[in-house]
Amino acid sequence: MRLRKAFAAGAAGIAIAAGLAACGDAGNDSEGRDVEAADDCDGKFDEGTRMAELAEAGEITVGVKYDQPGLGFKGATDDVPSGFDVEVAKLLVADLCIDPASSNVTWEETISDNREPYLESGKVDVVLASYSITDDRRKVVGQTGPYMVTGQQILVKEDSDVAGIEDLEGKEVCSVTGSTSLENVKAKGAKGVGADSYSECAEKVLDGTYAAMSTDGSILAGLAAQNEGQLKVVGDEFSEERIGVGYSKDHPEMCEWINGVLEKAFDDGSWAEAFELTLGPSGVETPEPPELDACQ
């Protein structure tokens, strides 16, 4: 089930952005939830699996975003990033008997354009970085989930007359290079322009370089919160984004493991707790957990 339509209309987007201000600002110093690692991983995973290797090594590298308040954010003084993606990642880390709060976890900044290369090269073990599940990506890396379903919207200046994607035909709309958002805005008749980060896009909207930026409504709300009174979220959702976990195709066994951890989190309430901690302050009602894809 997707995030509630609280992200849909412009007025609602502004209200959510104001609510998310606490989330965005708190992202600089919030330590998140206390997620305890399992007591004993001896014999928990089949020998030779990637999970067994990671558990035995006691170390893992997780790819996350650094510039998405509420999802994956790391300020200049933060030791560990915060956000919903990060909290879900902690559940996976803990299941490997690795303390999510320890230095044995490397939180690697992973931008939209390098998620597949990082997984293919082994630079990261898993990616939780607002990572939309697509058929094209699944040709290159493993993806499973989703653990969140959301939709794409528009972010514009506070005084803009733009009410949605239909008002941006032929105009330049910024999104991050390598994201599905660029293809979606092009399909709607706008001119998609790539950038290195979401914060860069937001800055270009603020200075008038671009008429708007577009990506998942949850990301836009966090950016609007950081620029309260200057930016607003407008328009109905015009795509469905199924956010999942990325892993290397070299380790297909990780799919069933990831799904198992997510299913347990759905059932025991820890997924809802993570959502309420990170995205709940925006006023968004906690949705029902989404249905997981079957592993191939």
pLDDT at 227: 84
Residue 211 has phi, psi (to 5 degrees) of -70, -30
Q: Which region, left, alpha or beta, applies to residue 63 given φ > 0 means left and ψ of -120 to 50 means alpha?
A: beta
CATH class of this structure's domain 23-149+241-282 = alpha beta
Domain boundaries, the chain: 5-20+151-234, 23-149+241-282
Rounded to two decimals, the pTM is 0.79
8-state DSSP, 82: B
* C-alpha span between 243 and 66 (Å, rounded): 17
Q: In terms of DSSP bridges, do strands 241-247 and 191-195 run parallel, antiparallel, or are they unpaired? A: unpaired
Q: Do domains 5-20+151-234 and 23-149+241-282 have the same CATH topology?
A: yes
pLDDT at 5: 38
pLDDT digits (tens, 9 = 90+) for 113-132: 899 999 999 999 999 999 99
What integer is the mean pLDDT of 200-224?
Answer: 91
CATH number among 3.40.50.720, 1.10.10.10, 3.40.50.300, 3.40.190.10, domain 5-20+151-234: 3.40.190.10
pLDDT at 23: 36
Could you tell me the pLDDT band of residue 13, with boundaries at 50, 70 and 90?
A: very low
Residue 155 has phi, psi (to 5 degrees) of -120, 125
Q: Give the three-class secondary structure for 48.
A: coil
